[in-house]
Amino acid sequence: MVSVFSRRMFLFALLVLFTLAVLTVQARSEDRREIGFLGSLLVAALSPVQAAMTRVSDAVASGWRSLSEIGELRAENRRLRRQVEMLSEEVNRLREQAREAERLERLLDLARSLPHRTVAARVIARSPNAWYSTVLLDRGSKNGISMNDPVLTPSGLVGRVMEVGPASARVLLISDPRSAVGALVQRSRDIGVVQGLGGGHLSMRYLTRSAEVQEGDLVVTSGLGGVFPRGLPVGTIVRVTKDESGLFQEAEVQPAADLDRLEEVLVLLKGK
Amino acid sequence: MRVAFILLLVLTAVVVQTTWLVRVPIRGVVLDPVLPLVMAIGLLRGPEEGALFGLAGGLLQDLFAGTSLGLMGMAKLTLGFLAGFLTASLYLESALPVLVVTGLGTLFHEVAWTSLAGLTGQFPVPLTVWAGKALLQALYNAPLGPLGLALLRRIESKTSGSRRPHPVRPRRGGGP
């Protein structure tokens, strides 16, 4: 047992001495490193292996980088998409607000130019029927609205109030077949009646055969009948039909107000 | 045959460390697979082989690390030698003692090679920084101890058919 221990210690001491000798040589060299011929040979032999392994690790690292970059790009893409959606919503909202402000400004200008008291109202519903054209407003008798009050936009006449509730009012549009508006051709002063044909179309009837009506003429309310005040724009004549055998001639009228896209309107409080 | 296998294993560990592991340092500390391997050799084969393979592995590390030859060589020579004496008192079938001994062995190794580096004027790192890195190195190396031991046992069983290591086993004419 003692001899085994002694042999071990001898070997250990030998190895330590050898290493110390190597270390001493190293420490005395200029760069504290002197690998010698054997070391150079070993390095030269193993350098191709190291190069190959480095290439493998380079490829793995590159693949990993690509994968992580893809993940990052996806995350960034998602974030940017969300941002674009958010900004688009914001732009749409602001655009909508700007348009509404523009419409309301025009409505206000109209209200100021009229001699009547007015109430601005928002269209909250419209008739689903294709032929009968009515819209529901968010203002009613509490706001002073009464039956037959004329309704208009800055572009022209819209219709008249046909039903009134405390907080709502239904408007019969001039394009409804039940509507008839006393009107005159602004240029020639010929009188007729503008009737609704349904589906957004109007017809000016009872124009005398001698009336000088032509396409492009502006039709305004005549004030006859007592419902609509005089001079509100109704529409523009787009076609004139003259029946040779008949007593009257007839004209197709394009409504001045965009009846399909009503959003805010002005109600003339005629009775007050 | 067995010696050649173990030498190849040590060489592979050095090359893997200097090409791959250096690219994935953990908090600035690179895993040292040679150290647990040298300790496992010492634990399984005794102080002589521990010292010899320790010296070989350490010198190879010095060679490829660009440091003075002998710094790691001396540290690992001593570590492998001392590990050989633990065989009788350590229960090698459990991973925990091996793990703890590998951690402590790493600390010893760090102290040994940095002392030598200091003696030869090659220790520019502040002591506090060194202490932190040494502790981290011990923490990271410790789990490799049981793995190194298992790997070495596998090689032993493949090359000699023996799974029972014995540091005082007769070298010639004996064996199970």
Would you state the pLDDT for residue B161? 52
- Give the Cα separation of B3 and A5 in Å (integer): 22
- ipTM of the assembly? 0.78
pLDDT tens per residue, range B31-56: 899 999 999 999 998 999 999 999 99
Domain ranges within chain A, ordered by starting residue: 2-65, 117-269
Cβ neighbours for A168, distance < 8 A, ≥ 6 positions apart = A124, A136, A137, A138, A139, A140
Burial A161-189 (b: 16+ CB within 10 A, else e): bbebeeebbbbbbbbbeebbbbbbbeeee
Closest chain B C-alpha to A12 CA, distance in angstroms: 7
Would you state the pLDDT for residue B173? 40
Instruction: Compare CB distances from B73 to A8, A22, A50 and report the shortest one's residue.
Output: A22
> Which of A6, A19, A32, A58 to probe by mutation at the B interface, max B CB count within 10 Å?
A19
Nearest to B33 by CA among B47, B21, B41: B21
Instruction: Compare CB distances from A16 to B59, B77, B168 and report the shortest one's residue.
Output: B77
Alpha carbon distance, N-terminus to C-terminus of chain B: 18
Would you state the pLDDT for residue B171? 42
Closest chain A C-alpha to B55 CA, distance in angstroms: 8
- Give the Cα separation of B21 and B32 in Å (integer): 8
Is B88 near chain A, with CB under 8 Å?
no
- Give the Cα separation of A159 and A235 in Å (integer): 12
- Give the Cα separation of B32 and B61 in Å (integer): 10
pLDDT greater at residue B173 or residue A41: A41
Q: A-B interface: how many C-beta pairs under 8 angstroms?
A: 81
Query: Is the predicted pLDDT of residue B167 greater than 80, yes or no?
Result: no
> Predicted confidence band at B172 (pLDDT cuts at 50, 70, 90)?
very low
pLDDT tens per residue, range B87-137: 878 887 888 999 999 999 999 999 998 888 888 877 767 788 888 889 999
A117-269 belongs to CATH 1.10.8.50: no
Residues comprising chain A, all counted: 272
Which residue ranges of chain A lie beneath pLDDT 50?
none
Nearest to A270 by CA among A112, A116, A113, A164: A116
Instruction: Compare CB distances from B69 to A4, A12, A33 and report the shortest one's residue.
Output: A33
Interchain proximity B69–A23, CB inside 8 Å: yes
Mean pLDDT of B138-159: 88
Interchain proximity B77–A19, CB inside 8 Å: yes
Report the predicted TM-score, pTM, of the whole model to 2 decimal places.
0.54
Interchain proximity B52–A15, CB inside 8 Å: yes
SS3 per-residue string spanning chain A: CHHHHHHHHHHHHHHHHHHHHHHHHHHHCCCCCCCHHHHHHHHHHHHHHHHHHHHHHHHHHHHHHHHHHHHHHHHHHHHHHHHHHHHHHHHHHHHHHHHHHHHHHHHHHHHHHCCCCEEEEEEEEECCCCCCCEEEECCCHHHCCCCCCEEEECCEEEEEEEEECCCCEEEEECCCCCCEEEEEECCCCCEEEEEEEECCEEEEEEEECCCCCCCCCEEEECCCCCCCCCCCEEEEEEEEEECCCCCEEEEEEEECCCHHHCCEEEEECCCC
Residues of A with Cβ-Cβ distance to B55 under 8 angstroms: 15, 18-19
Handedness of CA B87, B149, B44, B174 (dihedral sign): positive
- Give the Cα separation of B171 and B169 in Å (integer): 6
SS3 per-residue string spanning chain B: CHHHHHHHHHHHHHHHHHHCHHHCCECCECCCCHHHHHHHHHHHHCHHHHHHHHHHHHHHHHHHHCCCCCHHHHHHHHHHHHHHCCHHHCCCCCHHHHHHHHHHHHHHHHHHHHHHHHHCCCCCCCHHHHHHHHHHHHHHHCCHHHHHHHHHHHHHHHHHCCCCCCCCCCCCCCCC
